[in-house]
Structure 1
Amino acid sequence: MKIRVPATSANLGPGFDSCGIALSQYLTIEIGEETKNWQIVHHLGSNIPSDEKNLLIQTALDLAPNLKPHRLTMTSDIPIARGLGSSSSVIVAGIELANRLGKLGMTTAQKVTYATKIEGHPDNVAPAICGDFVVASFNNNEVDFVKHPFPNCDVIAFIPNHELLTAESRAVLPKEMSYRDAVKASSIGNVMIAAVLNGNLPLAGKMMEKDILHENHRQHLVPHLKKIREFCKIYGGYGSFLSGAGPTVLVLTPSENTEKLVTALKIYDHEAAIDVLSVEKEGVQIV
């Protein structure tokens, strides 16, 4: 049995800590035979634990403490600390591991709620579980969420050759904002979501680039965002936004303009990874 969890991108500009999409990169956990102790075979680096200290096992045992140890094989093409939900994918995989091995019979809502309480916000874990485009709210220990099909487009991921830890990126955010700015931020986010639901990607992309909740505060940590936005306008993209806490930037574009944008981005930074992705319609799956 294999558990497959998609990468995710949170925020989509003004949908801070609320909106997210699932993407066509994956973490895969292959469940092998029972063993005396938990074993995780992977090639993700020496800093990723290969035993019960791994976040995957910690999450599973927190949910189902009596699980019997197994030999697991972990593979992932989701880059670590790049704003594409690498840690969220592990949390979601851990929940599904406990759900399957422990025969818990968890509903989607239960999985989203549990994952959100671990992560602290639902913007990555909800689309990782549900797939597609998800808008979610976490208030008073309660999670409400809505999944909706995302309009068809290519998603170009500009992934810099350096990490940006979420803690560092969150540390630059203000602790409060004025009422006037809060209303403005809300209106921008509302129109962005409505445009996505209406299939209007040109308007959605425009609103994604008007965020005032976090991107302007993080600008100095991701100086490439401004240049990528210039390329987006020149070569016919719908819009661009910082993926999660960064440093990855996503560009939404009609497929006929993808090649031109990819070429421009590769010339701009030959060390960055440029991946052409799609919105993954399914969330966590048993393969």
Structure 2
Amino acid sequence: MKICVPATSANLGPGFDTLGLAISLYNQVIIKPSKFHSVSLKGEGANNPILKDNNMFIAIFNDFYHNLSNKKRHFRFEFTNDIPLSRGLGSSSAVIVSAIASAYAIEGIKIDKNKLLNLALAYESHPDNITPAVMGGFNVAAVKDNEVKYIKKNMPKSLKAVVVIPNRPISTQLARKALPYKYSKEDVTFNISHSSLLTAAFMSEDWKMLRIASQDQVHQKYRMKQMPELFDVQKTALKSGALMSTLSGSGSTLFSMAFNDDASRIEKELKKRFPHFKVLTRDFNNSGVTIEY
């Protein structure tokens, strides 16, 4: 059995803890019956022995599997991780979603994506990453009575994601602490108006509106100060023709969106200006988590 979950970029500027989309960069796990428990790990985190011994996927998988099954079985887990760790591309959400989906699939129990999403909410209280990880596409999400309410929009093939992944992380915990305790009414109004405009731009496919709509006053400038080079990355992407350029999650990755014809030029310029960072161009993902037998 093979489970794939896409990377995600959340917030998208003003949509703090609310907006997110899925990118065609994946974490994959193959699960096989085995005589004893074993784990192999390739890609991101492969050189970190702690991830094998203290694996969040295994812990969540076991919780659900033991609740669903009375059998004692051992498995071999073969992980291939392409989503960078602690870089704001939803690596934790990918682990949570794939672990829960795997436990149900192993037992042959069909689980619809709405149920999967709400089970994941117990491990990740903000729906901006887990929703696109499950559903794919662009998502607007909110939580009401411990249930995720969302609207999804499929992303067209005419657009690309260009991500700049720095060589060091920004701690999510420290990134949250960097935010102000109070905000002015002007800043809150700014973000409500821009988040609404951004959502409308995605839904109506008015891509030229994104540069204005993606502006933010709530979190980006405070978090990006921890890695000042990100301001230059953002300026370079926009100057090179990106439709929008925003901090991905809490960082340190910077996400940009571009038309297909512009993406390679933007990637080339970013690689030239920031050779110590990884720059990738990817399609968007509209399917979310997938399971193959």
Which TM-score band (shorter chain)?
A: over 0.9
| TM-score normalised by structure 2 residue count | 0.91
Distance 1:49 1:183 in 2: 42
Q: CA deviation at 1:194?
A: 0.4
| Greater displacement, 167-176 / 183-192 | 167-176
**What SS does the aligned partner of 1:117 have?**
coil
Q: CA deviation at 1:105?
A: 2.4
Q: Render the CA deviation track for 1:61-91: whole Å, top value 9, x for unaligned.
A: 2223255331110001111111111111111
Q: Aligned match of 1:162 in 168, 180, 196?
A: 168
Q: What letter is aligned with 2:52?
A: S
Mapping for residues 49-60 of structure 1, pairs under 5 Å: 49-51=51-53, 53-60=54-61
Matched, 1:97 2:97: no
Contact map agreement 1:229 1:240 (CA 8 A) in 2: yes
| Greater displacement, 219-228 / 83-92 | 219-228
Contact map agreement 1:192 1:205 (CA 8 A) in 2: no
**What SS does the aligned partner of 1:119 have?**
coil
Name the residue aligned to 1:87. Answer: 92
Q: Aligned match of 1:115 in 101, 115, 120?
A: 120
Matched, 1:283 2:288: yes
Mapping for residues 1-287 of structure 1, pairs under 5 Å: 1-36=1-36, 38-43=37-42, 44-51=46-53, 53-66=54-67, 68-151=73-156, 152-208=158-214, 210-287=215-292
Contact map agreement 1:157 1:274 (CA 8 A) in 2: yes
Q: Render the CA deviation track for 1:213-233: whole Å, top value 9, x for unaligned.
A: 211221312322321232233
Distance 1:46 1:91 in 2: 19
- Report the CA distance shift for 1:146/1:35 in structure 2 as closer, same or farther (over 3 A): farther
Contact map agreement 1:150 1:199 (CA 8 A) in 2: no
Unaligned runs of 5+ in 1: none
Identity score, percent: 32
Distance 1:102 1:162 in 2: 39
Q: CA deviation at 1:235?
A: 2.0
Aligned pairs, number: 284
Q: What letter is aligned with 1:171?
A: K
Q: CA deviation at 1:4?
A: 0.7
Distance 2:179 2:64 in 1: 32
Q: CA deviation at 1:184?
A: 2.3
Distance 1:50 1:135 in 2: 34
Contact map agreement 1:82 1:246 (CA 8 A) in 2: yes
Unaligned runs of 5+ in 2: none
